[in-house]
Structure 1
């Protein structure tokens, strides 16, 4: 009986540590820093907000975007995103299209060693974001 007590304490301690892991938060905006292997164009502003109702939205650099999302554990997926239709400089429009296409490929999320949220596709590099 006394041998089981240290194991029970160790298990409780480890369970407590697991809850200290960063969590993807709803109703919080994240600022995009990288899309795959490329950083954003200087002074462009892309954001992702996960609403509690299963909808995500934000700014895609030129237009506002929106999509449904599913979150279960470390799995996350987005429905095909829609957006407003404003025209901007060609480089911003290309970046926006890369971002919206990358969102459609996202399969899971995690946080890296420096606290960035990473949205991972099935293969390739993630979208990297900072909490605002």
Structure 2
């Protein structure tokens, strides 16, 4: 009987010690909320100074600039999935190159189903896993 008590005591102490032993914790996952300057659309760099930008709010609103026009919509995300509602845009005319980039940007954004954030870089993928947009976190 004494041997069983010692074994139970040893097992209890061992369990407590292993529970207290903290393994190195993983860094918290980076958040989607915030401002992002788009750096590439369908793996092609954006036109310099085109100001393609996405702003994800904590209240699930998505706004920004598609290169020329402002955008506005809502989104929902869970883990790494992302659902973007239909996108409203302003209707300004810009240089033809910016208008073409904007059309591709809007088409790509509407295809996004999944995202990944690593080291301040946002990658957005379609249903098939093809990279649609890449962006870098900004302050504003």
TM over 0.5: yes
For 1:129 and 1:7, the matched residues in 2 are separated by: 42
Partner of 1:33: 39
Superimposed CA distance per residue, residues 40-80 of structure 1 (whole angstroms, 9 cap, x where no aligned partner) = 01221111111232220001111001111111121111112
TM-score (norm 2): 0.79
TM-score (norm 1): 0.84
For 1:59 and 1:40, the matched residues in 2 are separated by: 13
Q: Which runs of 4+ in 1 moved over 4 A?
A: none
1:106 aligned to 2:115? no
Partner of 1:119: 124
For 2:125 and 2:69, the matched residues in 1 are separated by: 23
Compute the displacement of 1:2 (Å).
2.9
Partner of 1:71: 77
Compute the displacement of 1:4 (Å).
2.2
Runs of at least 5 residues in structure 1 that lack an aligned partner in the other structure: none
Partner of 1:17: 26
Give the paired residue count: 126
Runs of at least 5 residues in structure 2 that lack an aligned partner in the other structure: 1-11
Partner of 1:3: 14
